[in-house]
Each structure stands twice: as C-alpha cells, then as structure tokens.
Amino acid sequence: MTFVNKVRFKMGVEGDNVRIAVTEAMNECIDEDILVDFFEQHREEVVEVSIYDYDEEEVRRVLAEEYAQEVAQGMAQEIVEKAAKEASEKAFAEGEQSMMINQIIKKVKKSKTLETIASELEEEVADIKPIYDVVIAAAPDYNIDIIKNKLAIN
C-alpha cells in the first residue's frame, strides 16, 4: 500500500498528474528499498497500468457523480410535476367552487329556494346547503371573497 498511498498523496495534495505521480512514487519506493527489483524491471509497465487504473477510477467517480445528479434531477422534476399537478387540481377545485357560489348567488337574488336551486344545478340539496347558507348570510352584498373565506372556515 505504500506505493499506492504515495501516488494518491502526490495526485491529491501535490496535484501531480498520474504519470508524474506514479514515476515519483516509484523513485521514492526504490530510494526507500521497497520493491526495488520489481520497479526497476517493470517501470514502464507499472506506469501504464497505474495510469489505466487511475483513469478507470476517475471514470467510475465521474459516472457515479453523473448518476447522482440524474437521480437528484429526476427527483426534483418529480416534485415539481407533483406540485404543479396539486396546484392545478386546487385551482380547478377553487374555480368550480367559485362558479358554484356565483350560480347560487344569482339564483338567491332571484328568490329561489334551496330545493329549486339544487334541482336547477343538478346537485344534491345536502351538497349545496353549506354554500347556500353562507350566501344567504352574506346578503345583500354577496361578496364572493367573504363567502369563500367563511366556507373555508366551516
């Protein structure tokens, strides 16, 4: 591990490129009487194999980073899509409620009964009664924002 640690140190701390780091690490190992015969006999082969190994390690690191970024982007996109869908559904529901309130206001202004309004809107009496009651209470102004707020509280 001494040789590998020397290479990593030279690449990480000293910022050497792989070829220089491997060559200097081999020279230091030879000076320290570590694997002298091996390094002297296989110098070029050690450099080439080490470069290949470090390149492969770098490729793996880059691929792992890219994968992590893609996963994060996918999750972010999923969250954005979900939020947009929820916002759209909420806006649609609020739009439906506003339309229902406006229709009930118009019919109340014409002095129609709850049962008549329910029949004309093709809704159940029980479904529109809460809106009807708040609309009646909001007379004569029929401010839709106040009506919506009261319905949200109830």
At 121 the pLDDT is 92
Tell me if 67 is assigned to some domain: yes
What is the pTM assigned to this prediction?
A: 0.47
Q: CA-to-CA distance for 23 and 10, rounded, in angstroms?
A: 10
Over residues 91-136, the pLDDT tens digits come to 888 888 889 999 999 999 999 999 999 999 999 999 999 999 999 9
* Mean pLDDT, the chain, whole residue set: 85
Domain-located, residue 16: no
- Examine residue 146 and state whether it is found in any structural domain, yes or no: yes
Evaluate whether residue 141 is within a structural domain: yes
Please report whether residue 13 resides in a domain.
no
Indicate whether 11 belongs to any domain. Answer: no
Q: Would 25 be classed as within a structural domain?
A: no
**Of 70, 82, 18, which Cα lies nearest the Cα of 47?**
18
Q: Provide the pLDDT for residue 115.
A: 95
pLDDT in tens, 21-66: 888 888 888 899 888 888 888 888 888 877 766 656 666 777 788 8
Question: From CA 26, how far away is CA 91, in angstroms rounded?
Answer: 69
How large is the average pLDDT for residues 8-14?
A: 76
Domain count, the chain: 1
Residue 14: band (very low, low, confident or very high) from pLDDT cuts 50, 70, 90:
low
Q: Is the Cα torsion angle 33, 9, 47, 64 positive or negative in sign?
A: positive
Domain that holds residue 52: 42-153
Does 120 map to a domain? Answer: yes
- Per-residue pLDDT at 139 exceeds 70: yes
Provide the pLDDT confidence category of residue 152 given band limits of 50, 70 and 90.
Answer: confident
| Whether 7 contacts 22, CB under 8 Å | yes
